[in-house]
Structure 1
Amino acid sequence: MTASAPTTAAATAAATPAGRDRYVDLLRVASLATVVLGHWLMAAVSGDGIGNLLALVPPLQGLTWLLQVMPVFFFVGGFSHALSYRSLERRAAGRPVYADFLRARLRRLLRPTLVFVLLWTALALAVQLTGHGGGRLTGAALRMVTQPLWFIGIYLAMVALTPPLLKLHGRHGWGAFAALAGAAALVDVARFALGVPYAEFLNFALVWLAVHQLGFLRADGRITRPAVLAAAGAAGAVLLVAFGPYPLSMVGMPGEKVSNMAPPTLALLCHGMWLVGAVQLLARPAGVWLARPRVWHGVVAANGIAMTAFLWHLTAMLGVYAAQLAAGAALPEPATAGWWAQVPVRILLAAALTALLVRCLRRFEAPAVRAAPADAPAAGLPVADASRGSGPGGGSGSSGGRPAAAAGITLCLLGILGLSMTGLGGLLEGHSAVLIALPVTAPAAIGMALAGAFLVERSGSPRRVRLRG
């Protein structure tokens, strides 16, 4: 079957079923927009390099309790993954759908991500081959531009583990979440009280998968007391920060001995619980607001470009600073009055440059037209916009497609996580970082991501069917 032409935001908004849960689409785009704004605010660029505003002004670290909203994104991911996987199972009539699920979930994520990686790799190679990669600002930019990719690696792991965790949820409900949260707490005990080496890295999975599990609970309408969830999470986070070994900041700080983010801690899980409870409390009034055609059209349009904007927002910010330096303008010392005075202008310019980059690159994120059921998320990352061959004779749902799909997503997540750690500086020097106790270089990480994407894409037969959700 041939692919349909890309749809417009207006057409998608107009075709939205009346029973659709629009709030998850708003949460997705709002969480990514908050992260973008936070990054633009935190970057403190000077002639000495790129620093972190929160490290320079420690009292501002309390703002991370509002700006660290990645738990909301992963919560929304759990919700949409549950709906998509169940939708595929209903249409498959008993056939395995794992490979279909992976391909459908990852296609709109991996295409813009790999385009970003390849374009930045070409730029990094050009800079280093011409001998301009050794400067402080250039070196810092090449290191930091890939750092936000960590969340894509974690998201890939969530997609891969959705089927078994959804079964666990079906059997135990809140008990499955409690088991993951309890395991995360035990990891912190092993880390801080017993000094067990490397135990903390288990929480990269346990903490984020626990938040993801909350999305399953929302999909089944089982978060019936969001105020209790928010209060329990907030109280837990406050107590852990006040009396435990946990820092105030819910994002990583340069040079700190303990980070709530890398690896994630029980304090970050509690932070995620209060955020999920808080956004659930706002669901009803937000639903009334989203019923307005103009508002919903804006949310659909934003969802259609959200991943591209996220991938390129640091590039835009670095471009603004580069233009300022090229024009001979002075860079005020971060956190001074002059620096704060420039913040609104820099953010507006970064937003404008991001919009230009999105205009040029959004086609790699654009889906084909598919009539979506009422429970499917709108144009954006969590849409299963196309699948292959789960009908009779189709290999995507066959046992032969599952190993290739599983191997592919494993390579993708290892490659993207590795690249987020290595950066693109030192491409020619073999600079490496440790990923799960093994050293990985940027070229190796890029190779793994590309090979993994190829395996996922080829995990089915050429026969196409319309699988929606």
Structure 2
Amino acid sequence: MRPSELAAATPESRDRYADLLRAGSLGTVVLGHWLMAAVSQDAAGHVRVGNLLALQPRLQVLTWFLQVMPVFFYVGGFVHARSCRSARRRGPGSYPVFLRARLRRLLRPTAVFTAVWGAVALAVQLAGADGGLIDIALRLVAQPLWFVGIYLAMAALTPPLLRLHERWGWGAFAALVAAAAAVDVLRFGLRVPGVEFLNFALVWLAVHQLGFLRADGMIRRPALLAGAGLTGAVLLVAYGPYPLSMVGMPGEKISNMAPPTLALLCHGLWLVGAVELLRGPLTRLLRRPRVWRAVVTAGGVSMTAFLWHLTAMLGVYGALLAAGVRIPDPGSAGWWLQVPLRIAAAAALTALLVALFRTFEKPSGVRESGAPRAWAGPAAALGATLSLLGVLALSMVGFGGLLEGRTALLMAVHVTAPAALAMTFTGWLLVDRAGRDRNRTG
């Protein structure tokens, strides 16, 4: 079904604002990545990729507006709550059905992306053509996969966390916030080693839990939420050990992103409050057919565009270097003059890649099983775990070193790129099979 037909068939009960936030947040992240990339070439011809925000620290305040990944996770909580409850109504054994339904449109395009780049990396290394920008690309294009891993964890943990929400409401959210704050106290105050990695779960799950609250209409004072979050973030950055940037900076000792901090959680709170304040006027705007068609079109390809946008950006820079076009020093007047052209070219190349790979993001049309097999629940949980670990490891090790055995440290275990790819594909196969109707294929 075409986007225009989907838009026309939208039921009145659908929360259109959630669709706008989902597509808009990913689009903002893509634009931020295109703006931050600072590719340069020295006199010897060596290519370097840096971060504009590290070169011009005064611009780091922009991350308080461009770092909108918390909004996507917030919407994820809202959607997961509704989907989980819908699966529950089908009766016992709903977990694999819910997980497959939530992960299919995420893992299918991710699996294709990793397969294509894995094949490219293998071909490059067998041909001995690595070096320069291609080495950088093999490392960088995999980095956004961390987001896929975190989202997988959120989906997999939705059923138990939703039950906690249904019993405790705001109390469950407050417990996650308190735990994240305690981790930072142990990390910065008592210097306890290794404890900071707990906040990869606690911070993002707290934002995700806000989506449950929204699903039940419990966020009634968004201005208070936004004000508290913004005040907390400002105070923590001004008087605490937290950096100004809400994204990671190369070479920094402390990052608000990796692992996430209490400052990033406060940043997420103010963003959630802000988007809820805009909910009324933007929802009315979405009633216009032309606007809603645009949102439906963007939402149908947003994950594919997100996965391939760095590929497009590096492709544009590669074409410029191959054509002998001089790239001005990042942050210079000439560099800024080139920005609109580079972004337009990256957007055009992303659109081409989306046209090639968008079919893998479409709903499958396969009926989910109402009575999964006895092994389906454990298989779905194992599959989600393997996929989570696989994509996280791949985001760290990249596609380079497929033949050299290059590794990344993941939860105290050294993982290679081939092992990461194997975990990702095996995990998806388990999730897919566990939730599939036993009487049909697809």
TM-score class, shorter:
over 0.9
Q: Secondary structure at the match of 1:147?
A: coil
Matches of 1:437 and 1:260 in 2, distance apart? 22
Residues 360-399 of structure 1 aligned to structure 2 (within 5 Å) = 360-368=356-364, 386-391=366-371, 394-395=372-373, 399=374
Given candidates 294, 300, 308, the residue that maps to 2:296 is 300
Given candidates 101, 107, 111, the residue that maps to 1:110 is 107
Return the letter of the residue paired with 1:68: Q
Quote the offset at 1:96 in angstroms: 2.1
Matches of 1:461 and 1:37 in 2, distance apart? 36
Conserved 8 A contact 2:228-2:270: yes
Aligned to 2:126: 129
Quote the offset at 1:139 in angstroms: 1.8
Aligned to 1:456: 431
| Alignment partner of 1:87 is 2:86 | yes
Quote the offset at 1:148 in angstroms: 0.4
Aligned to 1:8: 2
Q: Report how many residues are paired.
A: 435
Matches of 1:446 and 1:368 in 2, distance apart? 23
Aligned to 1:27: 21
Q: CA RMSD in A?
A: 1.1
Given candidates 234, 244, 250, the residue that maps to 1:238 is 234
| Alignment partner of 1:417 is 2:392 | yes
Aligned to 1:377: none
Q: CA offsets per residue over residues 233-276 of structure 1, 9 Å max, x none?
A: 00000000000000000000000000000000000000000000
Q: Secondary structure at the match of 1:360?
A: helix
Aligned to 1:314: 310
Instruction: Pick which of 190-199 and 451-460 moved more.
Output: 451-460
Q: Secondary structure at the match of 2:58?
A: helix
Conserved 8 A contact 1:431-1:441: yes
Q: CA offsets per residue over residues 2-54 of structure 1, 9 Å max, x none?
A: xxxxx211111111112321000000000000000000000000113111000
Matches of 1:14 and 1:161 in 2, distance apart? 34
Q: Which runs of 5+ in 2 are unaligned?
A: 42-46
Residues 70-469 of structure 1 aligned to structure 2 (within 5 Å) = 70-90=69-89, 92=90, 94-135=91-132, 137-368=133-364, 386-391=366-371, 394-395=372-373, 399-460=374-435, 462-463=437-438
Return the letter of the residue paired with 1:114: A
Matches of 1:459 and 1:405 in 2, distance apart? 6
Matches of 1:128 and 1:53 in 2, distance apart? 30
Matches of 2:168 and 2:225 in 1, distance apart? 18
Conserved 8 A contact 2:248-2:255: yes
Return the letter of the residue paired with 2:394: L
Closer/same/farther in 2, CA of residues 427 and 368 from structure 1, 3 Å limit: closer
TM-score, length-normalised on structure 1? 0.91
Share of identical aligned residues, percent? 68
Quote the offset at 1:287 in angstroms: 0.7
Conserved 8 A contact 1:133-1:425: no
Q: CA offsets per residue over residues 87-114 of structure 1, 9 Å max, x none?
A: 1112x1x312001011111111111001
Matches of 2:14 and 2:383 in 1, distance apart? 32
Matches of 1:323 and 1:131 in 2, distance apart? 20
Quote the offset at 1:141 in angstroms: 1.5
Matches of 2:195 and 2:410 in 1, distance apart? 14
Given candidates 3, 11, 14, the residue that maps to 1:17 is 11
Closer/same/farther in 2, CA of residues 319 and 193 from structure 1, 3 Å limit: same
Q: Secondary structure at the match of 2:249?
A: coil
Q: CA offsets per residue over residues 355-391 of structure 1, 9 Å max, x none?
A: 011111111111246xxxxxxxxxxxxxxxx553214
Q: CA offsets per residue over residues 31-78 of structure 1, 9 Å max, x none?
A: 000000000000000113111000000000000000000000000000
Greater than 4 Å deviation, 4+ residue runs: none
Closer/same/farther in 2, CA of residues 462 and 25 from structure 1, 3 Å limit: closer
Conserved 8 A contact 1:104-1:387: no
Return the letter of the residue paired with 1:145: V
Conserved 8 A contact 2:367-2:436: no
Q: Secondary structure at the match of 2:30?
A: helix
Closer/same/farther in 2, CA of residues 252 and 331 from structure 1, 3 Å limit: same
Quote the offset at 1:461 in angstroms: 5.6
